[in-house]
């Protein structure tokens, strides 16, 4: 992700891998900082603890990308824009 996009991220969804394979939590983002110990990586600081949601499954295929329906379900849980 381009560095100029980082300030625009307001919420982050948490995806759990097998056996869940679903988005299971969402949290508002307080800040995103560079991780000094690992160049090119970032630390996401939550404004409050992650809130359990869903699960919102991503589909039947193991490596399927996030679908529009999953993003729509996140917006119905929190109608404010995920990325502003």
Q: pLDDT, tens digit, for every residue of 48-83?
A: 999 998 888 776 655 555 555 555 555 555 555 444
**Class of residue 17 by CB neighbours under 10 A (exposed 0-12, middle 13-18, buried 19+):** exposed
Between the CA atoms of 60, 61, 66 and 67, what dihedral angle is there, to the nearest 10 degrees? -60
**Does the pLDDT of residue 7 top 90, yes or no?**
no
Each domain of the chain, given as residue ranges in start order, spans: 3-77
The predicted structure's pLDDT at residue 57: 78
Total-model pTM: 0.62
Over residues 18-59, the pLDDT tens digits come to: 787 888 899 999 999 888 888 888 888 999 999 998 888 776
């Amino acid at each position: 992700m381009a560095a100029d996009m980082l300030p625009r991220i307001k919420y982050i969804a948490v995806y759990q891998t097998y056996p869940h394979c679903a988005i299971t939590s969402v949290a508002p983002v307080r800040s995103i900082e560079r991780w000094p110990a690992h160049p090119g990586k970032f630390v996401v600081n939550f404004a409050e603890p992650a809130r359990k949601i869903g699960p919102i499954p991503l589909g039947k295929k193991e490596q399927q990308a996030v679908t529009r329906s999953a993003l729509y379900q996140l917006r119905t849980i929190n109608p404010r824009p995920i990325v502003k």
